[in-house]
Amino acid sequence: MRRQEPACERPFDPYRLDGVGFVVVMAAVVFLGRENPNFFYPQILWVFAALLLFNLLTISLLLPGDLGGTRRMALSVGANLGLMSAVVEFSGGRESYLWIAYLLPVFHGCVFFAWRGSVAVTAAAVVLLALPYTAYFQARLWGGLVELLVKALTILLAAAVMGRIARQERLSRSRLSAEQRKIQREREAARVQLQHMDRLATLGTLTASVAHEINSPLASILGHAQLALRGPFSEKEARDALCKIEVGVLRGKSTIQNMLSFSRRSASTRRPALFVTDLRMPGLSALEFFRTLEDKGMLRDLRVLVVSGSPPGSALKSLLDSRGLRQLHKPCDIKVLEDEVSSLLGKTQGGRKGPH
């Protein structure tokens, strides 16, 4: 089954309007030549009125786009062939000079159909043209047959020329459509690449600030390890030191994992990164931090863990809630973690206050 093109991709079709113009011109010729004894009045006028009305309805109402394209045009061309044969019949039959009207459905057949369809339409036009000459065949009047042959060759030649033009136009449209799809794919690839480069640029900007997140737990681990090497201490002191070392290791591991996941090309469907809002950069509040990520189009990839001991401020909470981000409030019930966070907040908030 032939795949139908989406209606939005179909270019404006001027051929039906050309058909209406052709019919109007022919009707004007008939009206101006109303003294011709070969014309049957008012039948010829009614036929032209029906032909004009059908083409107008074909454009707008009678054959809407929900019908298949091939079926729609086959019905239109077939109806035009029938009406054209009536025009020839009521304008003098074989003596009618309006036989040229058969070129209209032939042209439409060449434009709208492949070569088989155009051949079928042309053959139908020639057969209808030959019907008034049946008496010449029976009487073997060669003069009339030569006249029919000239008319048929005219239609065949016009069909061949129009078919070639129509094929070239279809090839041009196909190449143009393929080129447009290629440009669209390249544009999409460039957009994805630019987004990744922007992500890496943002990552580089945040690296200096996040380095503080790594240096702080390393300093804590080093300090407690050096204390352990200085001499014996109680089991409680040892447990407390090991707990602080564990917290520092986990903080460093979490920061590194977040940086890795933040720098990947993965789409937003991956598991969200985990950010700790109150472990922020000096001079940049949590609200400003998340707004920066929102401007870069990366806020949708985050899951927020609040460890400050209190919920986030109203401005930050409104920002996160409006984006559907998951907020996990975790009070600092572990004294070691509370000391670490309080120490960091005391350093970062010495010069300015920021929302949590």
List the chain pLDDT tens, one digit each, 356 residues: 344 444 444 444 544 556 566 666 766 766 666 677 777 777 777 887 787 777 777 666 544 444 446 777 777 788 888 888 888 888 887 778 788 888 888 887 888 788 888 888 889 888 888 888 776 666 666 666 788 888 889 999 988 998 888 888 888 988 999 999 999 999 999 998 888 888 777 777 667 666 767 777 788 788 877 777 776 777 777 777 777 787 778 877 777 777 676 656 444 444 444 344 444 344 445 556 556 655 655 544 444 444 444 455 565 566 555 544 444 444 433 344 445 444 544 444 444 444 44
92 and 210 housed in the same domain: no
Pinpoint the alpha helices (H) of the chain: 15-32, 43-59, 69-89, 103-112, 115-130, 134-139, 142-230, 235-263, 286-295, 314-322, 335-348
In a domain, 163, yes or no: no
- The pLDDT, as a whole number, for residue 356 is 40
In a domain, 318, yes or no: yes
127 and 242 housed in the same domain: no
Which residue segment(s) compose the domain that 297 sits in? Answer: 189-348
33 and 130 housed in the same domain: yes
- The pLDDT, as a whole number, for residue 27 is 67
- Domain edge (last residue) among 102, 120, 140: 140
Report which residue type is found at 20: V
- The pLDDT, as a whole number, for residue 296 is 54
- The pLDDT, as a whole number, for residue 181 is 92
- Domain edge (last residue) among 77, 110, 140: 140
- The pLDDT, as a whole number, for residue 88 is 83
210 and 342 housed in the same domain: yes
In a domain, 174, yes or no: no
Nearest to 283 by CA among 233, 221, 349, 224: 349
In a domain, 74, yes or no: yes
- The pLDDT, as a whole number, for residue 157 is 92
209 and 308 housed in the same domain: yes
194 and 114 housed in the same domain: no
Q: Tens of pLDDT along 299-348?
A: 444 444 444 444 555 655 665 555 444 444 444 333 444 454 445 444 44
- The pLDDT, as a whole number, for residue 355 is 40
Q: Is 305 helix (H, G, I), strand (E, B) or coil?
A: strand
In a domain, 353, yes or no: no
**Could you give the number of structural domains in the chain?**
2
132 and 195 housed in the same domain: no
* Residue 321: C-alpha distances to residues 187, 291, 304, 318 (Å): 33, 13, 11, 5
Instruction: Say how far residue 64 (Cα) sits from the centre of its chain.
Output: 24
In a domain, 209, yes or no: yes
Q: Tens of pLDDT along 279-311?
A: 434 444 555 655 665 565 554 444 444 444 445
In a domain, 320, yes or no: yes
194 and 326 housed in the same domain: yes
Could you tell me the two tokens for 302?
């985050």
Q: How far apart are CA 24 and CA 49, in angstroms?
A: 9
In a domain, 39, yes or no: yes
194 and 59 housed in the same domain: no
Q: How far apart are CA 145 and CA 220, in angstroms?
A: 109
How many C-beta neighbours within 10 Å does residue 338 have? Answer: 15
109 and 204 housed in the same domain: no
- The pLDDT, as a whole number, for residue 62 is 44
Q: How far apart are CA 5 and CA 91, in angstroms?
A: 41
136 and 198 housed in the same domain: no
202 and 309 housed in the same domain: yes
